[in-house]
Structure 1
Amino acid sequence: MTVAPKKDRLSPPLMLAFRAAYDARDARKPIELRDQYGERVIAGRRSTGRFPISETLLRREVSHDVETLLNTIALESTLDLTGYACVRTSILNYGFPDIANRSIDEVTDEELSDALRMSLTTYEPRLDRKSIRVRRDTTVDPEQLKLRFFVQSDLKCEPLNVPVEFVADVDLDSGDIQINRL
Protein backbone atom coordinates (compact mmCIF):
# COMPACT_ATOMS: atom_id res chain seq x y z
CA MET A 1 0.00 0.00 0.00
CA THR A 2 1.49 3.32 -1.01
CA VAL A 3 0.84 6.58 0.73
CA ALA A 4 -0.10 9.50 -1.47
CA PRO A 5 2.37 12.39 -1.09
CA LYS A 6 1.12 15.58 0.48
CA LYS A 7 1.19 18.16 -2.27
CA ASP A 8 1.41 21.11 0.10
CA ARG A 9 4.53 19.88 1.92
CA LEU A 10 7.85 19.89 0.09
CA SER A 11 11.40 19.09 1.09
CA PRO A 12 13.21 22.40 1.67
CA PRO A 13 16.50 23.36 0.08
CA LEU A 14 19.49 23.17 2.42
CA MET A 15 20.14 26.91 2.12
CA LEU A 16 16.80 27.57 3.81
CA ALA A 17 18.27 26.41 7.12
CA PHE A 18 21.10 28.92 6.86
CA ARG A 19 18.80 31.73 5.73
CA ALA A 20 16.35 31.01 8.57
CA ALA A 21 19.19 31.10 11.12
CA TYR A 22 20.46 34.35 9.64
CA ASP A 23 16.99 35.90 9.74
CA ALA A 24 16.54 34.83 13.38
CA ARG A 25 19.94 36.34 14.27
CA ASP A 26 20.32 33.83 17.07
CA ALA A 27 23.51 31.98 16.15
CA ARG A 28 25.63 33.80 18.74
CA LYS A 29 23.09 33.75 21.54
CA PRO A 30 24.27 31.27 24.15
CA ILE A 31 21.87 28.54 25.11
CA GLU A 32 22.58 26.81 28.37
CA LEU A 33 19.80 24.35 28.99
CA ARG A 34 20.21 21.79 31.75
CA ASP A 35 17.97 18.95 32.79
CA GLN A 36 17.00 18.15 36.37
CA TYR A 37 20.30 16.32 36.92
CA GLY A 38 22.43 19.20 35.68
CA GLU A 39 23.26 17.57 32.36
CA ARG A 40 23.43 19.82 29.33
CA VAL A 41 20.47 19.51 26.95
CA ILE A 42 20.95 20.00 23.24
CA ALA A 43 19.08 23.12 22.19
CA GLY A 44 16.18 22.77 19.79
CA ARG A 45 17.71 24.97 17.14
CA ARG A 46 20.66 22.61 16.90
CA SER A 47 18.74 19.36 17.01
CA THR A 48 15.83 19.96 14.69
CA GLY A 49 15.89 18.38 11.28
CA ARG A 50 14.87 19.86 7.99
CA PHE A 51 11.19 20.62 8.11
CA PRO A 52 8.81 20.48 5.15
CA ILE A 53 7.88 23.84 3.66
CA SER A 54 5.02 25.12 1.57
CA GLU A 55 5.23 25.59 -2.16
CA THR A 56 4.83 29.36 -1.70
CA LEU A 57 7.84 29.61 0.62
CA LEU A 58 9.93 27.40 -1.67
CA ARG A 59 9.09 29.58 -4.67
CA ARG A 60 10.04 32.71 -2.70
CA GLU A 61 13.40 31.21 -1.69
CA VAL A 62 14.22 30.13 -5.25
CA SER A 63 13.10 33.51 -6.62
CA HIS A 64 15.44 35.28 -4.20
CA ASP A 65 18.37 33.06 -5.19
CA VAL A 66 17.70 33.32 -8.94
CA GLU A 67 17.55 37.11 -8.73
CA THR A 68 20.82 37.14 -6.77
CA LEU A 69 22.43 34.85 -9.35
CA LEU A 70 21.35 36.96 -12.31
CA ASN A 71 22.45 40.22 -10.69
CA THR A 72 25.92 38.93 -9.84
CA ILE A 73 28.53 39.71 -12.49
CA ALA A 74 30.35 36.61 -13.70
CA LEU A 75 34.15 36.51 -13.60
CA GLU A 76 34.15 35.84 -17.33
CA SER A 77 32.93 39.40 -17.84
CA THR A 78 36.28 40.75 -16.67
CA LEU A 79 38.74 37.96 -17.49
CA ASP A 80 39.17 35.90 -20.63
CA LEU A 81 38.50 32.31 -19.56
CA THR A 82 39.19 30.77 -22.96
CA GLY A 83 41.11 27.59 -22.29
CA TYR A 84 39.79 27.32 -18.73
CA ALA A 85 36.66 25.23 -19.25
CA CYS A 86 36.57 24.05 -15.63
CA VAL A 87 36.70 27.62 -14.31
CA ARG A 88 33.93 28.70 -16.69
CA THR A 89 31.52 26.26 -15.04
CA SER A 90 32.84 26.54 -11.48
CA ILE A 91 31.62 28.71 -8.64
CA LEU A 92 34.45 31.14 -9.49
CA ASN A 93 32.43 32.23 -12.51
CA TYR A 94 29.10 32.38 -10.61
CA GLY A 95 26.75 34.95 -12.03
CA PHE A 96 25.51 36.47 -15.26
CA PRO A 97 27.58 38.21 -17.98
CA ASP A 98 27.90 41.97 -17.49
CA ILE A 99 25.74 43.77 -20.04
CA ALA A 100 25.77 47.23 -18.46
CA ASN A 101 28.93 48.32 -20.29
CA ARG A 102 27.69 47.26 -23.71
CA SER A 103 25.55 49.23 -26.09
CA ILE A 104 22.05 48.09 -26.97
CA ASP A 105 23.23 47.22 -30.47
CA GLU A 106 25.90 44.87 -29.07
CA VAL A 107 23.45 42.74 -27.07
CA THR A 108 21.25 40.36 -29.04
CA ASP A 109 18.10 38.64 -27.82
CA GLU A 110 19.57 35.23 -28.54
CA GLU A 111 22.74 36.04 -26.64
CA LEU A 112 20.78 37.12 -23.56
CA SER A 113 18.44 34.15 -23.82
CA ASP A 114 21.38 31.75 -24.04
CA ALA A 115 23.16 33.49 -21.15
CA LEU A 116 20.04 33.22 -18.97
CA ARG A 117 19.67 29.53 -19.77
CA MET A 118 23.38 28.87 -19.19
CA SER A 119 23.46 30.69 -15.84
CA LEU A 120 20.38 28.85 -14.61
CA THR A 121 21.55 25.41 -15.74
CA THR A 122 25.03 25.91 -14.31
CA TYR A 123 24.31 27.62 -10.99
CA GLU A 124 20.73 26.83 -9.95
CA PRO A 125 20.66 23.10 -9.19
CA ARG A 126 17.07 23.17 -7.91
CA LEU A 127 15.83 23.73 -11.46
CA ASP A 128 15.69 20.65 -13.67
CA ARG A 129 18.26 21.35 -16.40
CA LYS A 130 16.35 19.54 -19.10
CA SER A 131 13.17 21.49 -18.45
CA ILE A 132 14.53 25.06 -18.62
CA ARG A 133 12.94 27.03 -21.47
CA VAL A 134 13.69 30.71 -22.13
CA ARG A 135 11.79 32.79 -24.66
CA ARG A 136 11.66 36.50 -25.35
CA ASP A 137 8.51 38.54 -24.78
CA THR A 138 8.19 40.73 -27.86
CA THR A 139 5.29 42.79 -26.47
CA VAL A 140 7.59 45.08 -24.44
CA ASP A 141 8.10 48.47 -26.08
CA PRO A 142 11.75 48.89 -27.24
CA GLU A 143 11.63 52.52 -26.08
CA GLN A 144 11.66 51.28 -22.47
CA LEU A 145 15.26 50.05 -22.89
CA LYS A 146 14.20 46.78 -21.36
CA LEU A 147 13.96 43.20 -22.56
CA ARG A 148 11.61 40.67 -21.01
CA PHE A 149 12.08 36.93 -21.02
CA PHE A 150 9.70 34.19 -19.91
CA VAL A 151 11.46 31.32 -18.18
CA GLN A 152 9.75 27.98 -17.59
CA SER A 153 11.21 25.07 -15.69
CA ASP A 154 10.53 22.34 -13.17
CA LEU A 155 11.67 22.89 -9.62
CA LYS A 156 13.21 19.66 -8.33
CA CYS A 157 11.38 18.72 -5.14
CA GLU A 158 10.48 15.71 -3.09
CA PRO A 159 8.05 14.07 -3.54
CA LEU A 160 7.05 15.90 -6.75
CA ASN A 161 8.67 18.35 -9.14
CA VAL A 162 6.90 21.71 -9.17
CA PRO A 163 6.46 23.56 -12.48
CA VAL A 164 7.56 27.19 -12.22
CA GLU A 165 7.35 30.12 -14.58
CA PHE A 166 8.86 33.52 -14.04
CA VAL A 167 9.57 36.73 -15.88
CA ALA A 168 13.09 38.14 -16.11
CA ASP A 169 13.09 41.86 -16.92
CA VAL A 170 16.52 42.95 -18.18
CA ASP A 171 17.21 46.68 -17.84
CA LEU A 172 19.64 47.43 -20.66
CA ASP A 173 20.76 50.73 -19.08
CA SER A 174 21.87 49.37 -15.72
CA GLY A 175 22.20 45.66 -16.49
CA ASP A 176 19.90 44.83 -13.57
CA ILE A 177 17.60 41.85 -13.85
CA GLN A 178 14.36 41.71 -11.91
CA ILE A 179 12.55 38.42 -11.33
CA ASN A 180 8.77 38.46 -11.08
CA ARG A 181 6.05 35.88 -10.53
CA LEU A 182 7.92 32.75 -9.50
Structure 2
Amino acid sequence: MTSLRNKDNLQISLLDRLTDDQPEISSEPRDKRGFSQAKLRENILRDLNWLFNSSNLATVENLEEFPEVESSVLNYGMPDFTGHTVSGINVPEIERLLKKAIFDFEPRIIRRSIKVKLNLDEKNMGQNAMTFDIEGELWAEPLPLQIYLRTMLDLDVGDVKVYDYSGSS
Protein backbone atom coordinates (compact mmCIF):
# COMPACT_ATOMS: atom_id res chain seq x y z
CA MET A 1 0.00 0.00 0.00
CA THR A 2 1.32 3.44 -0.90
CA SER A 3 1.51 5.89 1.97
CA LEU A 4 0.04 9.31 1.33
CA ARG A 5 1.97 12.38 2.31
CA ASN A 6 0.13 15.13 4.20
CA LYS A 7 0.34 17.55 1.27
CA ASP A 8 -1.54 15.01 -0.86
CA ASN A 9 -4.47 15.11 1.58
CA LEU A 10 -5.33 18.80 1.73
CA GLN A 11 -8.53 20.18 0.27
CA ILE A 12 -7.65 22.52 -2.58
CA SER A 13 -10.33 24.96 -3.74
CA LEU A 14 -11.72 24.75 -7.25
CA LEU A 15 -10.32 28.21 -8.01
CA ASP A 16 -6.82 27.08 -7.07
CA ARG A 17 -7.13 23.89 -9.12
CA LEU A 18 -8.17 25.89 -12.18
CA THR A 19 -5.59 28.67 -11.78
CA ASP A 20 -2.42 28.24 -13.80
CA ASP A 21 0.36 30.33 -12.25
CA GLN A 22 2.72 29.47 -15.11
CA PRO A 23 0.69 29.28 -18.34
CA GLU A 24 3.82 29.26 -20.49
CA ILE A 25 4.76 25.81 -19.12
CA SER A 26 2.60 23.05 -20.61
CA SER A 27 3.16 20.47 -17.86
CA GLU A 28 3.95 20.71 -14.19
CA PRO A 29 6.78 18.78 -12.56
CA ARG A 30 5.50 16.16 -10.13
CA ASP A 31 6.98 17.96 -7.10
CA LYS A 32 5.01 21.14 -7.95
CA ARG A 33 1.63 19.34 -7.97
CA GLY A 34 1.43 19.09 -4.19
CA PHE A 35 -0.20 21.59 -1.92
CA SER A 36 1.50 22.51 1.36
CA GLN A 37 -0.11 23.45 4.66
CA ALA A 38 1.39 26.93 4.34
CA LYS A 39 -0.16 27.35 0.87
CA LEU A 40 -3.54 26.13 2.17
CA ARG A 41 -3.43 28.70 5.00
CA GLU A 42 -2.40 31.43 2.55
CA ASN A 43 -5.31 30.59 0.24
CA ILE A 44 -7.81 30.44 3.12
CA LEU A 45 -6.67 33.93 4.21
CA ARG A 46 -7.00 35.23 0.65
CA ASP A 47 -10.47 33.73 0.25
CA LEU A 48 -11.72 34.99 3.63
CA ASN A 49 -10.43 38.49 2.84
CA TRP A 50 -12.36 38.37 -0.45
CA LEU A 51 -15.46 37.02 1.31
CA PHE A 52 -15.49 39.55 4.15
CA ASN A 53 -14.79 42.49 1.80
CA SER A 54 -17.58 41.61 -0.64
CA SER A 55 -21.00 43.18 -0.15
CA ASN A 56 -23.73 40.58 -0.28
CA LEU A 57 -27.04 40.80 -2.14
CA ALA A 58 -28.95 41.18 1.14
CA THR A 59 -27.28 44.60 1.48
CA VAL A 60 -29.33 45.93 -1.45
CA GLU A 61 -32.26 43.48 -1.74
CA ASN A 62 -34.78 42.19 0.79
CA LEU A 63 -34.41 38.40 0.69
CA GLU A 64 -37.20 37.50 3.15
CA GLU A 65 -39.33 36.05 0.33
CA PHE A 66 -36.36 33.99 -0.91
CA PRO A 67 -34.82 32.21 2.11
CA GLU A 68 -32.89 29.75 -0.07
CA VAL A 69 -31.08 32.66 -1.76
CA GLU A 70 -29.74 33.83 1.61
CA SER A 71 -27.30 30.88 1.80
CA SER A 72 -26.60 30.66 -1.93
CA VAL A 73 -23.71 32.08 -3.94
CA LEU A 74 -26.05 34.87 -5.02
CA ASN A 75 -25.64 36.26 -1.50
CA TYR A 76 -21.83 35.83 -1.32
CA GLY A 77 -20.21 38.30 1.04
CA MET A 78 -21.14 40.31 4.10
CA PRO A 79 -23.51 43.18 4.87
CA ASP A 80 -22.05 46.67 4.49
CA PHE A 81 -20.83 47.99 7.86
CA THR A 82 -19.59 51.34 6.54
CA GLY A 83 -20.73 54.29 8.61
CA HIS A 84 -21.67 52.33 11.73
CA THR A 85 -20.13 53.18 15.09
CA VAL A 86 -18.63 50.76 17.59
CA SER A 87 -21.10 51.92 20.26
CA GLY A 88 -24.08 51.34 17.97
CA ILE A 89 -23.11 47.94 16.63
CA ASN A 90 -24.63 44.65 17.78
CA VAL A 91 -21.52 42.55 18.54
CA PRO A 92 -23.28 39.15 18.77
CA GLU A 93 -24.90 39.86 15.39
CA ILE A 94 -21.52 40.63 13.78
CA GLU A 95 -20.08 37.43 15.29
CA ARG A 96 -23.06 35.50 13.92
CA LEU A 97 -22.70 37.04 10.44
CA LEU A 98 -18.97 36.26 10.27
CA LYS A 99 -19.63 32.67 11.34
CA LYS A 100 -22.52 32.30 8.88
CA ALA A 101 -20.40 33.61 5.99
CA ILE A 102 -17.72 31.03 6.82
CA PHE A 103 -20.39 28.29 7.11
CA ASP A 104 -21.92 29.20 3.76
CA PHE A 105 -18.82 29.93 1.69
CA GLU A 106 -15.69 28.34 3.20
CA PRO A 107 -16.14 24.55 3.32
CA ARG A 108 -12.45 23.88 4.06
CA ILE A 109 -13.03 25.04 7.65
CA ILE A 110 -14.90 22.34 9.58
CA ARG A 111 -18.29 23.78 10.65
CA ARG A 112 -18.43 22.36 14.16
CA SER A 113 -14.99 23.82 14.91
CA ILE A 114 -15.69 27.48 14.05
CA LYS A 115 -15.61 29.98 16.91
CA VAL A 116 -15.90 33.74 16.41
CA LYS A 117 -15.41 36.12 19.32
CA LEU A 118 -14.85 39.85 19.74
CA ASN A 119 -11.31 40.57 20.95
CA LEU A 120 -11.68 43.01 23.83
CA ASP A 121 -7.98 43.89 24.04
CA GLU A 122 -8.01 47.70 23.78
CA LYS A 123 -4.78 47.84 21.75
CA ASN A 124 -6.65 45.91 19.02
CA MET A 125 -9.65 48.21 19.09
CA GLY A 126 -9.59 51.48 17.19
CA GLN A 127 -11.92 54.40 17.68
CA ASN A 128 -14.23 53.01 15.06
CA ALA A 129 -12.77 49.57 14.49
CA MET A 130 -13.36 46.14 15.98
CA THR A 131 -11.19 43.04 16.13
CA PHE A 132 -12.53 39.50 16.09
CA ASP A 133 -10.71 36.24 16.72
CA ILE A 134 -11.73 33.32 14.54
CA GLU A 135 -10.69 29.80 15.46
CA GLY A 136 -11.33 26.58 13.62
CA GLU A 137 -9.97 23.44 12.05
CA LEU A 138 -9.04 23.09 8.39
CA TRP A 139 -10.05 19.87 6.70
CA ALA A 140 -6.94 17.71 6.21
CA GLU A 141 -5.98 14.05 6.44
CA PRO A 142 -5.00 12.34 8.65
CA LEU A 143 -5.73 15.15 11.14
CA PRO A 144 -7.37 18.57 10.81
CA LEU A 145 -5.12 21.63 11.02
CA GLN A 146 -5.80 24.29 13.64
CA ILE A 147 -6.22 27.83 12.37
CA TYR A 148 -6.37 31.04 14.41
CA LEU A 149 -7.27 34.24 12.61
CA ARG A 150 -7.44 37.85 13.69
CA THR A 151 -10.04 39.82 11.76
CA MET A 152 -10.04 43.62 11.89
CA LEU A 153 -13.20 45.44 10.84
CA ASP A 154 -12.85 49.17 10.10
CA LEU A 155 -16.33 50.65 10.39
CA ASP A 156 -15.34 54.00 8.85
CA VAL A 157 -14.56 52.53 5.44
CA GLY A 158 -16.05 49.02 5.76
CA ASP A 159 -12.67 47.37 5.18
CA VAL A 160 -11.95 43.95 6.69
CA LYS A 161 -8.45 42.50 7.07
CA VAL A 162 -7.86 38.87 8.03
CA TYR A 163 -4.49 37.78 9.46
CA ASP A 164 -3.13 34.37 10.35
CA TYR A 165 -2.63 34.39 14.11
CA SER A 166 -1.59 30.73 14.34
CA GLY A 167 2.08 31.46 14.66
CA SER A 168 2.73 29.34 11.57
CA SER A 169 2.52 30.46 7.99
Alignment check: 8 A CA contact 2:83 2:155 kept = no
Q: Report how many residues are paired.
A: 162
Deviations 1:57-103 (A, max 9, x none): 11001110011000000100111101211100100000011111434
Q: Which letter maps to 1:44? A: S
Q: Give runs of aligned pairs for residues 86-105 of structure 1, distance below 5 A.
A: 86-105=68-87
Q: Give runs of aligned pairs for residues 39-50 of structure 1, distance below 5 A.
A: 43-44=26-27
Residue 59 of structure 1 is matched in structure 2 by 41
Alignment check: 8 A CA contact 2:84 2:156 kept = no
Structure (1 or 2) with the larger CA radius of gyration: 1
Q: Structure 1 residues 54 and 165 mapped into 2: Cα distance closer, same or farther (>3 Å)?
A: same
Residue 54 of structure 2 is matched in structure 1 by 72
Runs of 4+ more than 3 Å apart: 5-10, 101-106
- Identity of paired residues, percent? 25
Q: Whole-Å Cα distance in 2 between the matches of residues 84 and 129 of structure 1?
A: 24
CA-CA distance at 1:44 after TM superposition: 2.4
Q: Whole-Å Cα distance in 1 between the matches of residues 87 and 139 of structure 2?
A: 37
Unmatched runs of 5 consecutive residues or more in structure 2: none
Q: Whole-Å Cα distance in 2 between the matches of residues 158 and 52 of structure 1?
A: 14
Q: Whole-Å Cα distance in 1 between the matches of residues 2 and 103 of structure 2?
A: 33
Secondary structure of the equivalent of 2:136?
strand
CA-CA distance at 1:9 after TM superposition: 5.2
CA-CA distance at 1:8 after TM superposition: 5.6
What TM-score, normalized to structure 1? 0.78
Unmatched runs of 5 consecutive residues or more in structure 1: 32-42
Deviations 1:142-178 (A, max 9, x none): 5531100000011112332111110000001011110
Alignment check: 8 A CA contact 1:168 1:179 kept = yes
CA-CA distance at 1:105 after TM superposition: 4.2
Query: RMSD value over aligned CA atoms?
Result: 2.6
Residue 11 of structure 1 is matched in structure 2 by 10
Residue 89 of structure 2 is matched in structure 1 by 107
Q: Whole-Å Cα distance in 1 between the matches of residues 37 and 100 of structure 2?
A: 25
